Chain A
Amino acid sequence: MNIVEIKDLSFSYGKQKILEDINLIIEERDFFAVIGPNGGGKSTLLKLILGIILVQKGVIKTFGEIPKKNLAKIGYVPQNTDVNIDFPIKVIEVVLMGHIGTKRPLFGYAKEEIMCAMGALAQVGMEDFAQKKIGELSGGQRQRVMIARALCAHPKILILDEPTASIDIEGQKKIYELLKFLNNSITIIVVSHDISIVLEYANKIVHINKRLTYHHLNKEEKERLNMAGHFCEVELFNILKGDHK
């Protein structure tokens, strides 16, 4: 079964077309990267898959059903983790929010929920920070906590929107190594600007600018793009465009 299946999808805000005739398939344990210019519709596509906004034309199925039915199976890491930094909240409490909360006790959190949240923190290597205030963490650490929050509900897919936008190079590398590790058991969908990093980790890459260009990069092309450690974005776009025509 395909984990995500999109057929003839179009979407517009008012008269402005954001997405047009999108077709794509994401299979189990893909490391799926979405690249493209700002305003090209990447975030809109994510929101449609998540079921935050509703499909206007075409079909989206996650696990063979409409997206709204599968909220619990999808972990989401939003783009901006710098919001509300002053908020008086501990790391563990942020992670606990990831629970869908079906078996909740009358007051507070169930023991299993707390155990599970600590497990998620351990997965991202942040268990020592559980009792820290969220604002005391660095950008990269906060991003890990947000990934732990998404892992809390044991998702089958992890969706990340620009996970390394506000993190230093060293932190970016760590985040992607973590994602690679998680990819052993979970399907990963990531929207990113860091094309060179995406090339290194993703097994499928699509370029979205209203329309979608689907591309399997073979090894030869990857090497061409990474010639002598030098990376050329223009060339990548040319390859992807060529594929479309």
Chain B
Amino acid sequence: MIEALSYEFVQNAIIAGLLVSIASGIIGSLIVVNRMVFLAGGIAHTSYGGIGLAIYFGLPIFLGASLFAVLSAFIIAFITLNHRGRMDTFIGLMWAVGMALGVVLIDLTDGYSVDLMSYLFGSILAVSHNDLYYMGTLLIATILIVTLRYRDILAVSYDSDYAKLRGINVKFFYTLILVLSALTVVVAIKVVGLILVIALLTIPVYIAEKLSNTLYMMMILSGIFSSIFTISGLILSYLYNISSGASIILVSALSLFVFLIFSNLRLR
């Protein structure tokens, strides 16, 4: 177990796991309190189109996926702000089209037999130094934005109608939250894959929400829980030689289950 820590790819995996956990704790909290889980799911799957595009044109994967995810965040923001009634239809559509586009683009790429599974379920053991820089930058930017504009983000999330009356640009902050979600989803795909990313963004957050009186407490607790689940999942995947993404999610789900049992017992 200990000797595994001397391998660089294991060190990278742990650092990546922590960076992504903290980012997803913060952004996951915003996604959950704004009832955007389905929107984040849409962004995650649409971004597969960006992965395909990046592979086809030989661009860095994070760049292609991020551009695509941010673009889809803007489209989703526009739809939810202007045509709320048809939101689910449009997001379902983007969800499917993004995936299809990704698959076709990868098919068309000469001599590239990509391991689709690594994007669907994560490839945390294949994190490079550049990936770490990207994740670190994103985390710092997220913390800065959320801290400096906390009161606006809180007001928009809690009561957007009232925030508008107080002169806050609700559309801007709503879009900002979606764009940050998109960027976080892209790095979380590296850790747990795009199928499981929603679980990482919601399970630790759900437990934290029950234990918090304030939004920032919820963000901090989510980050801590998420880190614990990710590292435990990684250890289990090493010990039993199982997929890391799936074991992280199962550890999270099991913890949620235990938490629910205990909190119900305490209520009695």
Q: Say yes or no: is B167 at the interface (Cβ < 8 Å to chain A).
A: yes
Residues of A contacting B99 in the complex (Cβ-Cβ under 8 angstroms)? none
Q: How long is the Cα–Cα vector from A239 to B169 in the complex, in angstroms? A: 45
Given that A101-B166, A104-B151, A109-B151 are contacting pairs, would A133 and B159 also be in contact in the complex, using a CB cutoff of 8 Å?
no
- Could you tell me if B158 and A90 are in contact, using CB atoms closer than 8 angstroms? no
- Could you tell me if A78 and B162 are in contact, using CB atoms closer than 8 angstroms? yes
Closest B residue to A94 using CB positions = B158
Q: Say yes or no: is B148 at the interface (Cβ < 8 Å to chain A).
A: yes
Q: Say yes or no: is A220 at the interface (Cβ < 8 Å to chain B).
A: no
Instruction: Specify which of A50, A71, A88, A98 is in contact with B33 (CB 8 Å cutoff).
Output: A88
Mask, A76-112, CB within 8 Å of B = 1, is 1010000110111110011011111100101111000
Q: Say yes or no: is B161 at the interface (Cβ < 8 Å to chain A).
A: yes
- Could you tell me if B148 and A88 are in contact, using CB atoms closer than 8 angstroms? no
Q: Say yes or no: is A25 at the interface (Cβ < 8 Å to chain B).
A: no
Residues of B contacting A90 in the complex (Cβ-Cβ under 8 angstroms)? 213-214
- Could you tell me if A87 and B158 are in contact, using CB atoms closer than 8 angstroms? yes
Closest B residue to A86 using CB positions = B209
Q: Say yes or no: is B147 at the interface (Cβ < 8 Å to chain A).
A: yes
Q: How long is the Cα–Cα vector from A86 to B29 in the complex, in angstroms? A: 13
Q: Say yes or no: is B31 at the interface (Cβ < 8 Å to chain A).
A: no
Q: Say yes or no: is B105 at the interface (Cβ < 8 Å to chain A).
A: no
Q: How long is the Cα–Cα vector from A24 to B164 in the complex, in angstroms? A: 26
Given that A87-B158, A88-B212, A93-B214 are contacting pairs, would A106 and B165 also be in contact in the complex, using a CB cutoff of 8 Å?
no
Residues of B contacting A133 in the complex (Cβ-Cβ under 8 angstroms)? 213
Q: Is the contact region of chain A dominated by helix, strand, or loop, or is it mixed?
A: loop
Q: How long is the Cα–Cα vector from A93 to B163 in the complex, in angstroms? A: 13
Given that A97-B155, A97-B159, A107-B148 are contacting pairs, would A88 and B165 also be in contact in the complex, using a CB cutoff of 8 Å?
no
Q: Say yes or no: is A52 at the interface (Cβ < 8 Å to chain B).
A: yes
Instruction: Specify which of B151, B159, B168 is in contact with A84 (CB 8 Å cutoff).
Output: B159
Q: How long is the Cα–Cα vector from A54 to B240 in the complex, in angstroms? A: 64
Q: Say yes or no: is B90 at the interface (Cβ < 8 Å to chain A).
A: no
Closest B residue to A99 using CB positions = B166
B240 → chain A closest CB, angstroms: 36
B211 → chain A closest CB, angstroms: 9
Chain B interface residue count: which class? 20 to 34
Residues of B contacting A108 in the complex (Cβ-Cβ under 8 angstroms)? 150-151
Residues of A contacting B147 in the complex (Cβ-Cβ under 8 angstroms)? 107
Q: Say yes or no: is B194 at the interface (Cβ < 8 Å to chain A).
A: no
Q: Say yes or no: is B217 at the interface (Cβ < 8 Å to chain A).
A: yes
Q: Say yes or no: is B179 at the interface (Cβ < 8 Å to chain A).
A: no
- Could you tell me if A106 and B151 are in contact, using CB atoms closer than 8 angstroms? no
Q: Say yes or no: is B218 at the interface (Cβ < 8 Å to chain A).
A: yes
Q: Say yes or no: is B39 at the interface (Cβ < 8 Å to chain A).
A: no
Which interface residue of B162, B164, B168, B209 has the most chain A CB atoms within 10 A? B162
Q: Say yes or no: is B54 at the interface (Cβ < 8 Å to chain A).
A: no
Q: How long is the Cα–Cα vector from A89 to B33 in the complex, in angstroms? A: 11
- Could you tell me if B215 and A88 are in contact, using CB atoms closer than 8 angstroms? yes
- Could you tell me if B165 and A52 are in contact, using CB atoms closer than 8 angstroms? yes
Q: How long is the Cα–Cα vector from A139 to B188 in the complex, in angstroms? A: 40
A–B Cβ pairs within 8 angstroms, 23 of them: A50-B165, A52-B164, A76-B162, A83-B159, A84-B33, A87-B157, A87-B215, A88-B209, A88-B213, A88-B214, A89-B154, A89-B158, A89-B213, A90-B213, A97-B155, A97-B159, A97-B162, A97-B166, A100-B166, A101-B166, A101-B167, A107-B148, A108-B151
Point out residues on A near B: beta carbons under 8 Å: 50, 52, 71, 76, 78, 83-84, 86-90, 93-94, 96-101, 104, 106-109, 131, 133, 149
Pick the 7 closest A-B CB pairs, nearest first. Answer: A88-B212, A88-B218, A97-B155, A133-B213, A87-B158, A88-B215, A90-B213
